[in-house]
Each structure stands twice: as structure tokens, then as C-alpha cells.
Amino acid sequence: MFCLLNTYSTAQKLQDHLLNHQIKAKKRPKNVKRPKDSSVCIVQSDDDHQQIEKHFGCPSCFEHFKELKQLENHFRKHHSECMPQLPTQQTNETEESQPEVDSDDESQAYGKRSASESSSLDSKAELMNPSCLSFVLPSADDRLVIDRFDVSAAFYNFQQSILTHKWKLSLEDHIHCAMASTSILLLAPNRYPADLLPFFDEQQINSTIGHIELKYGLKKPTMDVDLVTKAVKILQDVISRTISRETAEINLLTLEAGEKEHKFFKAIAALVKKLPRVSIQEEVKELELCSRFVDPFLCELFDDPDAGTFFRWTNELTVESKKNQSSLNWRPDIAITRLQGVRWRYNLGFGEAKPAQPDSNHFAICKDLLRVGVFCKNSIDSQNMDGVMGLQIIGRTITFYVMVLPATGIYGMYELGEIQVPSSVADIPKLLMDMATVSCILDVFGRVCVPAVTPITTKQTPATISDEILTQIFSSTQSRKRPCHLKHHYN
């Protein structure tokens, strides 16, 4: 706190300096002289005079001290009202000295900010405004209960806990709170975030995931080893230049495979046609990332014009967000849309894409996932969908989610899997090991991401969080040192 790199010749100059650090030191009494002390003679001099002992004077009274620590103790004891009101959840470590915390150790860093962060914040701006957000009690006749564990009640208690904080939460290490603020329960196998653990223990998280997997059939099929072996042989031939790219494409498309596996091989064939033979060392920008690497793969999986389904890179407002525009729900990078006649009817999926360069910008990654969640929730609410697909693309890594509504007020956002698009033809054989995951994703997309048979009532659709409310609950500050549930090591 009292770390002075400069000295000041007058109390007023020191008061002005302390004010920059939010320490509002009181001015010394006017027309009052310093009490006489025969043991000392106070003079103004520099530090180099050998016969003069430097003391630190209090800016608010006439006390002076040989040690800076003594002045600090005096100021805290006699002028405590002048000290700044900083967040109580700060730590004494600076951001630069903090070690990176893995997401598994989030509980140790829960709700903490570094001293350097706290000192730079405007205290009033960082105060949470809990009155701007409220949550509806779980429905008595439509609750999610698993083995006598009331998931609806636990999720509601988790939501209520968000409003008990005095200070705004940082987005990077509280992505589950951000999702819960708009009634989304983010779930991923083998992930136990610190935010959830006070309300869901490890077994209860696993039970909730297992229930959703069973109810919606989210299990991977068995991989056809013989089929994979044939595909590997084709790819090895094109890598060794034994056959051309065109021949490899034809051979992949003529493999005897099921509908989902055939789509997977169509995506593989598209990559064979588009990718360089070896990895490019230059940085890949977002436009090239989308057009050369991601689009050929995803377009073959989801684009089906004959069925009226289009995989689109959108630069326009979605069907749902036209009714309620905000930065959370306008202009998604990707929309998978169903066409009816000559007009877009409804959206089956949404995605956000970023190049690999800002992969350590956890704030932007979390904001993107929150946007994807909001897109999916709005589509379920306004388009009466059973489920909606969500995609988050960081570099060549694609994470697939499906959002469902297992009970009133709980939008389950389940992570289906993670796929890395190869950087070159030589790396395509590695992608074959993900055939079972891709088959599961396509199966869920075809069965679950469809219009609901039973209309969803207004009671089942809690309001989506707005930008204005989000900024009242979550801080806009960013730090790459904060632990993050979404942290991965991308290409």
C-alpha cells in the first residue's frame, strides 16, 4: 500500500499523489502550527546530507516517522476513513506473479482478483447490482429429479448464489455463472467446475449428464474398424502420390458406408481437395481459416440443400435476434438454417469462430460461448425446437454442443465432442479416429435438432439475459492469468 518511489516536499503534493491511488487523505488543520518538540528540528533537505535523518510525514496531521511502515500503521489506525474501499476478494499477489491455475484447481482461485487488478478498478463500477436480475422458482409439476436429487432446485440455488456477491464476477473463471444467469446449465463429461460444486457434487453432475445422455440418446456408436482401414489405405496412397487427389476423392465417396459415415467421408474428401500437402507455417487469419479449413469440413456434414438445410456464414441478424437486438444475439458467425420455400424458416444450429492467435484470450472465448448459448436458447424459445446445435471454433479446433430443455427453466448445454481439423493432407488420417464422434454429432443433429411436437409455453421459457443486465453482474475487466474452464491448448 505505502510504496513511495518519489518523495514530496509538501503535504499537499503528497495528498494529490495519494488521491491517484484512491486514498483521500484529509488536509492538515489550517492556522494550526506544528507542536514544538525540543528533541528535533525539522528542516527541508535531500537524502544525501549525512547529519540529517529522513522521516516520513503524515499528510493529514503533524506526526512523522522514521520508517515507512510506521507511517502506514499510523495512517491505518488514525485515518482509516481515508483508505479506499477495495473488493474484499483481492489477493496480495500481483497479476504478473500469479501462477497459472488449471481449471481443476478453480476452487482455490474462486472469486479472487489480484491486487494490481483491484487497485485499477473503479469501485463503484465494479459493484454488482443484484436487483437487475431475478430467477423464477422451479415449476412444481415439471422438475428434473434424478435418483431423488432435485436438479431443478440445485440449479435454482446456484442461480441465486450469483446474486450474493458484492463485486462483479470475472467472466473467464465464472462462465458457468454467466450461463446460469440466462438459465443455461453447461455440462461436459469429466468436467467438475468450482462454481457448480457447492450445489452439485461430482456424482450428481455425472448423474445429470447420464440422464441427459440417456434421454436424448447422446452415446457414440462403435467405430467400424474395417471401414477406417480402407479409408486409411486411400489416404496413404494420396500422401505418397500413388494416386491423385481426384482419385482419392472418388475412392472415399464410393466406400460402402452408412448415411452418417458417408457424410464423414464426404468431409474427408473435401479436405483432401482443399488442404496443402504440408502444414503452413504462416499465421492463418479468420477468413482463410473459415474458407480453407473449417468450411469444407463442416459444410459437408451439415449442408443439405435438397433437404432444405443450409450451412451459412452469416453477416446478418438471425430470425430470432431481429426481434431483440443486442451484441449477445446478433450476427453469429455460423447459422445452420432450414429453408421453407423462398424464406428462411428456423435455425438448427449456431457457431462462433476465432483464429488460433487469441486462444489465450479467455474473456473473448467465454463471451463467444455465451453468445452461442444465447442463440441456441432463443431458437428453442421462439422457434419451438426440441434441440439446437452449438459450435465453437478456435483455430482448427471445433467443439460441438447440443442444447435441450429437459425441464422447465433448465436449458442443458451438453458438450458432444471436440474435433481438430487437420492442417494438411498428411494429417488427415488422424481425423479418421474421430469417426464415431462425428457419427454421434450427426445422429444428434438429425434426431434432436428438430421442431418440438408439443408447443413450449411461456412459463417454460425464462427471459434471456440482456447486455445491460450482463454488465451489471459481470466485470468487463480481462486477464489472461485467470483460470478458465474453457482453457485448451489449441494449434
Considering only CA atoms, which of 185, 165, 127 is closest in space to residue 462?
185
Q: Cell numbers at residue 291, please?
A: 474458407
452 and 341 within one domain: yes
Task: Decide if pLDDT at 321 tops 70.
Answer: no
- Containing structural domain, residue 50: 11-82
Q: Who contacts 374 (Cβ-Cβ below 8 Å, separation ≥6)?
A: 182, 328, 329, 464, 465
- The model's pLDDT over 335-378, given as tens digits with 9 standing for 90+, comes to 999 999 889 999 999 999 888 765 567 888 899 999 999 999 99
Pick the more confident residue, 194 or 415.
415
What is the rounded CA–CA span in Å between residue 431 and residue 445?
A: 20
- The model's pLDDT over 183-215, given as tens digits with 9 standing for 90+, comes to 999 998 888 888 899 999 999 999 999 999 999
Residue 434: strand, helix, or coil: helix
Q: Give residue 194's pLDDT.
A: 87
Mean pLDDT of the chain: 81
Pick the more confident residue, 54 or 105.
54
Question: Which H/E stretch holds residue 349?
Answer: strand 343-354
Distances (CA, A) of 214 to 200, 209, 223, 405: 19, 9, 20, 14
282 and 358 within one domain: yes
131 and 78 within one domain: no
Task: Decide if pLDDT at 417 tops 50.
Answer: yes
pTM for the model stands at 0.73
What is the rounded CA–CA span in Å between residue 473 and residue 85?
A: 19
Considering only CA atoms, which of 478, 472, 479, 467 is closest in space to residue 125?
472
Q: Give residue 327's pLDDT.
A: 57
Does the residue 473 lie in any domain?
yes
Does the residue 400 lie in any domain?
yes
282 and 431 within one domain: yes
Q: Residue 339 forms beta bridges with which residues?
A: 344
What is the rounded CA–CA span in Å between residue 434 and residue 397?
A: 13
Top-ranked range on mean pLDDT: pick from 149-163, 275-289, 451-465: 149-163
Helices assigned H by DSSP within 257-357: 259-274, 286-288, 295-302
Does the residue 213 lie in any domain?
yes
429 and 296 within one domain: yes
- The model's pLDDT over 103-145, given as tens digits with 9 standing for 90+, comes to 444 444 444 455 455 445 456 778 888 888 889 888 888 899 9
Does the residue 92 lie in any domain?
no
Boundary of a domain, candidates 54, 82, 110: 82
Q: Is 18 left (phi over 0), alpha (psi -120 to 50) or beta?
A: alpha
Task: Decide if pLDDT at 45 tops 70.
Answer: no
What would you report as the CA-atom Rg of the chain, rounded to the nearest whole angstrom?
29
Task: Decide if pLDDT at 16 tops 70.
Answer: no
* 36-40, 219-223, 239-243: the lowest-pLDDT one: 36-40
137 and 65 within one domain: no
Boundary of a domain, candidates 53, 82, 111: 82
Considering only CA atoms, which of 444, 448, 451 is closest in space to residue 220?
444
Q: Cell numbers at residue 276, please?
A: 496443402
65 and 143 within one domain: no
Does the residue 94 lie in any domain?
no
Answer for the pair 276, 424: CB distance below 8 angstroms, yes or no.
Answer: yes
145 and 64 within one domain: no
- The model's pLDDT over 74-102, given as tens digits with 9 standing for 90+, comes to 777 777 767 655 444 333 333 333 333 34
135 and 77 within one domain: no
Q: Give residue 479's pLDDT.
A: 78
Question: Which H/E stretch holds residue 406?
Answer: strand 397-407
Q: Give residue 105's pLDDT.
A: 44
Answer for the pair 379, 347: CB distance below 8 angstroms, yes or no.
Answer: yes
131 and 73 within one domain: no
Helices assigned H by DSSP within 304-395: 362-383
Does the residue 116 lie in any domain?
no
Secondary structure of the chain: what % helix, strand, coil (to 5)? 40, 15, 45
Helices assigned H by DSSP within 181-242: 202-216, 225-239
Question: Which H/E stretch holds residue 156?
Answer: helix 151-162
Mean pLDDT in residue range 319-331: 55
What is the rounded CA–CA span in Å between residue 328 and residue 171?
A: 14
Q: Give residue 95's pLDDT.
A: 37
Neighbours of 288 (CB within 10 A): 14
Q: Give residue 487's pLDDT.
A: 67
317 and 219 within one domain: yes
Task: Decide if pLDDT at 178 tops 90.
Answer: yes
Boundary of a domain, candidates 29, 62, 82: 82
187 and 66 within one domain: no
Does the residue 98 lie in any domain?
no
Mean pLDDT in residue range 382-394: 95
Answer for the pair 245, 268: CB distance below 8 angstroms, yes or no.
Answer: no
Neighbours of 274 (CB within 10 A): 15
Neighbours of 324 (CB within 10 A): 15
Domain count, the chain: 2
Distances (CA, A) of 406 to 202, 216, 409, 422: 20, 9, 9, 35
Q: Who contacts 49 (Cβ-Cβ below 8 Å, separation ≥6)?
A: none
Q: Give residue 190's pLDDT.
A: 86
What is the rounded CA–CA span in Å between residue 27 and residue 16?
A: 10
- The model's pLDDT over 212-236, given as tens digits with 9 standing for 90+, comes to 999 999 988 999 999 999 999 999 9
Q: Residue 313 forms beta bridges with which residues?
A: 334
Distances (CA, A) of 426 to 240, 295, 312, 416: 9, 19, 28, 26
Confidence of residue 462 (pLDDT cuts 50, 70, 90): confident
What is the rounded CA–CA span in Å between residue 427 and residue 95?
A: 38
Answer for the pair 395, 283: CB distance below 8 angstroms, yes or no.
Answer: no
Q: Give residue 314's pLDDT.
A: 86
